[in-house]
Amino acid sequence: MESVLLINCMTVAAVSFIVIAYRFWMVKKETRKLPSGTMGFPLIGETLEFMFYSYTTHPEAFMTKRRLKYGKVFKSHLFGNKTIVSTDAEINKFIMQGDMTVLVPDYPKSIKELMGESSILFTHGSLHKKVHGLIGSFLKSPGLKSQVTADMQHYIQMSMSCWKDDQIIPIQDASKEVIYKILVKGLVGMEAGKYMDLLRLHFHQFIAGLVSLPFKIPGSTFYKSLQASLIFQPLGSAGCSSPSLGIYAKKKLVQLMKSIIGERRRMRKNEKNMVPSPVKDMIDAFINDGSDELTDDHVVSNLINLMIPGNDSVPALIALVVKNLSESPLALRQIEEENMQLKKTKTDVGMKLVWRDYASLSFTQDVITESLRMGNIVTSVIRKAMTDIEIKGHFIPKGWSVMAYIRTVHYDDDFYEDPYKFNPWRWQNQKKDMGRFSPFGGGQRLCPGVEFARLEASIYIHHLITSFSWVAQEDMHVSWPTPRMRKGMPVKIKRKI
């Protein structure tokens, strides 16, 4: 019996040794060329620490700490994925411009589940090129810019006409109201009203879930947001203000947009022997393509994608501009003089401002650029390695995520003198190299709405500066779940005489 037990023990010990040796060899084989770093805790990796720093005024501190310890490129485990993180400008540029068959888009599981495979975030090849081109062409069109300029001027004047002296206005929230109306009209042709309000009712919950931890635990942000894409009650079941609507954001968007798309397709079918109607919104731009590749699911997913900047990115940019100007009297004085001069020039000749006027405000554009650098509306770009690759001597195994972290580069003193200082004058001589300045990503997946976002911000800032003076209230910039001012950038305003 003892000999049998001894043999069994020896067998177990031998098998255990072989398993341990094999696992050690496999780990050593996989990691012998990997950048230095740590994988953090089981399952969650270093995600919680990353999120913690994102709630502070210096979210890049997570990266800076590891950059000092391991170098500009290091390994980590974020959002459920083994990840190689780059804070190197040259490598980031390669990641954004690289072969799209080798480095494919990769995002946290929550984003994948909520946005769907039809989203431009996950399509590639000819379909991605087609969708990206259609969106870019529409958003850059002079006709849309003219429409947006007129509409924004109207909505801004309506909004600001209600403001009273010494009132506290959260600029981020106030501008969001205007930008959202512009986007919904530009995307689906919908005017302000109760259905637009319904679309927005639970949209904030949907957005919060996009970058949450992908755990389907009842009560969690991700769980609630996932329900937003699954649960639906018929439109009109209750009044707009009723909390019992139970209509969740994404499903409302999908249902309503599909009905609009269906109607537009029927109209286009009836116009076969007639002069086609002009393109008036993004739905028209998609369905006028006439391609069988673009299904209704593709159209809806990408319309929702384009709505996200209206909820977060552009209003956050406007709030950042106000914050930075509030802390720089010299910059505020110069941008005020530039905008007041434009207003006076147009008023003297009895002409309204057009989109080219706003684009001509050079110092205003420098202020926006510097706010983009410091605010980092897009903090990172994530790809997945489809094969083993090596970049500047750094090994990236097949199946690993690759994060090009942009914010750290934007604060790199190798590229920017005194990087934590708001200095819009630096852009009078600074080149906008993609590796060093990438506020909207880069390469084939550069955000197609870059010019559109700048125009919206320029128009809002112009009307704010030429109509009001303000005193900024206490607030701070955070980067989670999306870059924004935590309190909405409240200011005490006074109307200019």
The total of other beta-carbon atoms located within 10 Å of residue 391's CB is 19
Q: How far apart are CA 179 and CA 463, in angstroms?
A: 14
Q: How is 101-129 classified by DSSP, letter by letter?
A: TTEEE---HHHHHHH-TTSTTT--HHHHH
Beta bridge partners of 484: 478
Pick from 452, 110, 112, 470: nearest CA to 319: 470
Binding-site annotation, residues for heme? 447
Beta bridge partners of 402: 84, 383
Q: Give Rg (Cα) of the chain.
A: 25
Residues shown for the chain: 497
* Phi, psi for residue 354 in degrees, rounded to 5: -115, 170
Q: How far apart are CA 444 and CA 96, in angstroms?
A: 8
Pick from 206, 204, 174, 180: nearest CA to 193: 180
CA distances from 348 to 244, 341, 344, 345, 477 (A): 53, 11, 6, 5, 39
Pick from 313, 321, 339, 314: nearest CA to 424: 321
Using DSSP's 3-state secondary structure scheme, residue 485 falls into: strand
Using DSSP's 3-state secondary structure scheme, residue 40 falls into: coil
Q: Please, what is the angle between helix 296-311 and helix 203-210, to 10°?
A: 90
Pick from 91, 113, 112: nearest CA to 103: 91
Binding-site annotation, residues? 447
Beta bridge partners of 75: 37, 84
Residues 6+ apart with CB under 8 A from 447: 378, 440, 441, 453
CA distances from 314 to 17, 183, 211, 303, 432 (A): 58, 11, 18, 16, 20
